[in-house]
Structure 1
């Protein structure tokens, strides 16, 4: 690769030796900072930092001040916890749990003394990032300078970055993917573009054109935002590559976007990684997006993968194990953990994968996403992905007796039918929770911690599949013992009797308050149409909704049954 430096890409001490000081390092709408100016700014920030090796908590946003503060901490060899700027409660919690010595406000560079405790800090510990899947107490990933350098270098090489590249920092730098964009751009001595706003705002794309952006980093959620604006916004003349990571795109979308890029003039790079691997593990070359759209690609330079077989799964499938110089030192849950060296030499990713003869990796599930419901082994990630293919995004969490599905769908009946079909489970195996929008973390991923809270507290409107009022189909299936409901058949067609007449009528009135007396002769389709016309049913008490005629009929049936069994004789 031309014009790149691979010795110590994050060491600013010799930066002037391999880059012209006038080369742009950071672009903002207000102006450009050259590499020469960046060196000076970092040096100035270093003078504000402690001389002794101390634990730093650095709050960052995507500003040039935050980049300067970050690079100053690295240049000063200070172990640094990197957290998002603005979340004061979380910052205070982490500062207390890890007893940080100094707090640094990234944008302003302000340094605040906090604790005089002399911690035992391992000489290789450099950056500490919060794990994307953390719940409860803050759990951090311990990364060394070697991890950062190896990953930045391999990404820059794989993307063929050079000092001519201008890369948009479109993701939070406290997020491992966002940080890797900054690191790999500096590794190639390219220019970091700090564009305000999001992909939904016209000014974002105006700045992308004005700054001559060559590289855009995206997530699947960001693609949803881009599509909402129209894919034509991606017609940026200078754009040469788009990366996507932070979750899986549908294979059909990979092909669609790759084809669009080929027509417009940029390449699509599908990437896969974890914070525990300093962000990147594998990458799919652009030319393989058409024949392998369901794959995450091949290990990055210096890395290797293998499969660890898991009982109960096909022999061709196993947990993906990654080995490389970018594998983390280990986790930390307290400051004492920061004294440890490398705890592992390879990373068990927790992802189920296959590897074909060419070495191409495909992720097929998540070990922690499997659950057993009604004797069926269900892959919750696969259920989410297949449901999304029908146009509805959901988040699934298993409980003791149900699969809890949190969704934005305004047609729960159709959604219930979809998840039943995709899983092979009956309607009463699901509980549906309706929310206005799926909760997301700053990196755009669905926040499973908040999803869990929704399910545990039932803090939103919930439709429960094991309750007969979930859907009209569920009513017929549950009370008439049907495996499948024909929309053009009625209660009478199914030869419903007087006993299940009561339960079905009772259940239907939860869905259709003004249920007509002739409902037994109405087809399922007609009942659904009536439900749509009447709108959502209000929740009512059982006795409040029990019509007098039904009550009288129930009493009559009970007396008839008693008479037939000689329990009571009616004269």
Structure 2
């Protein structure tokens, strides 16, 4: 019996999860239900793809998989069919589990060799269904959950309302950290922009909510009065940089009303949490991602790979943590590989440290953006469009994905992107130009495209 199974069984009949449809499970019942659901997979260790949704049966299946010896890849249930088919073809899992389907378990040919320590796989690029996966041990995921539970001071009396996708590392971490302390959670398919979310928030007397920058921008427009419920005491934010003005707004509101607002930073590869801004520092340091979470060590390296000790000097942020992934996987053959990171992650983010030790991200070196909290690999977008015959260049910042296409109808490309990646329509802008500017080496000149984005490019 693994450590997760022992923990879950120790929670016994405590309430575990409920959803929009009124379905609910105790810890014991969820484990029993999930194990029965997974019975067709068999007892022999297997590689399982779980199609996730914010529904109690899906959370119960996840619980049972944590408690099993299987290795599981979490994929959102509404991932475009083409992207799912590509993932299955590349990694050859033994089974696909969809708890909401009439036939919840579909056995496949499988046969992929698995490393004995491999327990969990997460896509590195959210809703794009990137074939690049992060590989984790069970102990790594548990270590990050324990750190989160510690700095948030979680107890069995908590009850989060989770609307984030459960295959998304942030959503997964909400489940894991509360599972660790035996707290119940409510899940909803409604977003904060829908009345159903607020109805559920009140009905279940949720103690906390988690959101990405887009959600807090929406909450600003709604007004903080919607949050002034007697049971709601904690708000957390991750999934991209929140504007300092909003950090001040929600941090100040939380202090005035006796609540807590946590700004957090992380990466999928780190399991996912890396740092947090203590709530009492939000007003004075709203641009900061704060301090390392318990058990994590953060350092800065210069271009020569040497440590930076001085305050105010920028360098690459490096994380040492027991929750770091084993390494990446690009195909089925990589799933047999061992730990290649040894607890160390070079984040690709450029940061600096203040005199009193607070970390501030000042740049990003990789071609990634956070689109409404979901990390998007811009190279995935370019590659998908090229495979369909479109030369394209994707760029932008958090919640500002922009795609330039060469000599094509932007409306056609826009429809293709929505179909392929399930991006929200308001999340990106597609425009056409006669030719994508390139250097003599053939490298795309993204800066030139960005500079002239509003200078007559056809939308």
TM-score by length of 1: 0.64
Aligned residue runs from structure 1 range 257-406, under 5 A? 257-310=250-303, 316-345=313-342, 346-368=344-366
Secondary structure of 2:83's counterpart equals helix
The secondary structure found in structure 1 opposite 2:116 is coil
Q: CA deviation at 1:31?
A: 4.8
Q: For 1:169-192, what per-residue CA distance to the aligned partner results, in whole angstroms no more than 9, with x for missing partners?
A: 120011111110111110111111
Contact 1:122 1:341 in 2 (8 A): yes
After TM superposition, the structure 1 stretch with the greater mean CA deviation from structure 2, 191-200 or 296-305, is 191-200
Instruction: Quote the Cα distance in structure 1 between the aligned partners of 2:397 and 2:283.
Output: 32
Residue 40 of structure 1 deviates from its aligned partner by 2.1
Q: Given the alignment of the two structures, is residue 91 of structure 1 paired with residue 84 of structure 2, yes or no? A: yes
1:110 counterpart residue number:
104
Corresponding pairs, count: 406
User: Is structure 2 residue 177 aligned with structure 1 residue 184?
Assistant: yes
CA contact (8 A) 1:200 1:229 kept: no
Q: Which residue of 2 aligns with 1:24?
A: 15
Give distance in 2, aligned partners of 1:82 and 1:168.
20
The TM-score with structure 2 as length reference comes to 0.78
* Correspondence for 1:491: none
Two-structure CA RMSD over aligned residues (Å):
3.9
| Matched-pair contact (CA < 8 Å) for 1:239–1:265 | no
**3-state SS of 1:48 partner:** helix
CA distance in 2 between counterparts of 1:209 and 1:195 reads 13
| Aligned equivalent of 1:559 | none
Q: In the aligned structure 2, how far is the partner of 1:367 from the partner of 1:455?
A: 26
For residue 127 of structure 1, the aligned residue among 110, 114, 120 is 120
Structure 2 vs 1, CA of residues 442 and 248 (structure 1 numbering), >3 Å: closer, same or farther?
A: farther
Shift of 1:230: 3.0
Pick one of 140, 143, 157 that aligns with 2:133.
Answer: 140
Q: 1:273 to 1:403 in 2, by over 3 A?
A: closer
Q: Which moved more, 1:69-78 or 1:284-293?
A: 69-78
Structure 2 gaps of 5+ residues are 372-377, 383-392, 401-409, 437-447
Select the structure with the greater relative contact order (CA < 8 A; seq sep ≥ 6).
Answer: 2
The one-character-per-residue Cα deviations of 1:236-285 (angstroms, maximum 9, x if unpaired) are 21111100000011112101111112233321000000000011000111
8 Å CA contact 2:191, 2:197 repeated in 1? yes
Please state how far the C-alpha of 1:316 moved relative to its aligned partner: 1.0
Q: Deviations over 1:318-356 (max 9, x none)?
A: 000000100100000011101011101200000000123
- Take 1:100 and 1:138, find their aligned partners in 2: how far apart are those partners? 13
Pairing 1:48–2:45 present: no
| CA distance in 2 between partners of 1:445 and 1:138 (Å) | 23
Deviation at 1:48? 3.0
- Deviations along 1:364-388, whole A, 9 cap, x unmatched? 111236xxxxxxxxxx99xx9xxxx
1:217 Cα deviation after fit: 0.5
Please list the CA deviations of residues 487-546 of structure 1 after superposition, one character each: whole Å capped at 9, or x if unmatched. Answer: xxxxxxxxxxxxxxxxxxxxxxxxxxxxxxxxxxxxxxxxxxxxxxxxxxx99xxxxxxx
Shift of 1:151: 0.6
Q: What is aligned with 2:73? A: 81
After superposition, what is the alpha-carbon deviation per residue over 1:54-74, rounded to whole angstroms, capped at 9, x for unaligned?
A: 211111111111111112222
Tell whether the 8 Å contact from 1:199 to 1:222 is kept in structure 2 after alignment: yes
In the alignment, the residues of structure 2 paired with residue 456 and residue 77 of structure 1 have an alpha-carbon distance, to the nearest angstrom, of: 52
Secondary structure, in 3 states, of the residue corresponding to 2:109? coil
The 3 A distance-change label for structure 1 pair 27 and 326 is same
Q: Give 1:15 shift.
A: 3.3
Displacement of 1:443: 9.1
Contact 2:53 2:76 in 1 (8 A): yes
Shift of 1:103: 1.1
SS in 1 for 2:188: coil
Q: Distance in 2 between matches of 1:120 and 1:436?
A: 39
Question: Which blocks of at least 5 consecutive residues in structure 1 are unaligned?
Answer: 1-6, 370-379, 385-395, 410-432, 472-537, 540-571
* Pair 368,446 (structure 1): closer, same or farther in 2 beyond 3 Å: farther
Runs of 4+ in 1 over 4 A off after TM superposition: 133-137, 402-409, 433-437, 439-447, 453-459, 463-467
Cα deviation, 1:277-334, whole Å, max 9, x if unaligned, reads: 01100011111111211110111111101111027x9981100000010010000001
Compared with structure 1, are the counterparts of its residues 101 and 242 closer, same or farther at alpha carbon in structure 2 (3 Å cutoff)?
same
1:219 to 200, 208, 212: 212
Q: Distance in 2 between matches of 1:408 and 1:274?
A: 17
SS across alignment from 1:80: strand
Residue by residue, what CA displacement relative to the aligned partner does 1:376-404 show, whole Å, maximum 9, x if unpaired?
A: xxxx99xx9xxxxxxxxxxx99x9xx997
1:166 aligns with 159
How far apart are the structure 1 equivalents of 2:66 and 2:399? 43
Any idea what SS the aligned residue of 1:207 has? helix
Q: C-alpha separation between the residues in 1 aligned to 2:228 and 2:316?
A: 39
Q: Residue 445 and residue 165 in structure 1: after superposition, are their counterparts in 2 closer, same or farther (change >3 A)? A: farther
Indicate if the aligned counterparts of 1:221 and 1:445 stay in contact, CA closer than 8 A. no
Following superposition, the deviation at residue 34 of structure 1 comes to: 1.8
Residues 172 and 443 in structure 1, CA contact (< 8 A), matched pair in contact too:
no
Aligned twin of 1:197: 190
How far did residue 14 of structure 1 move?
A: 4.8
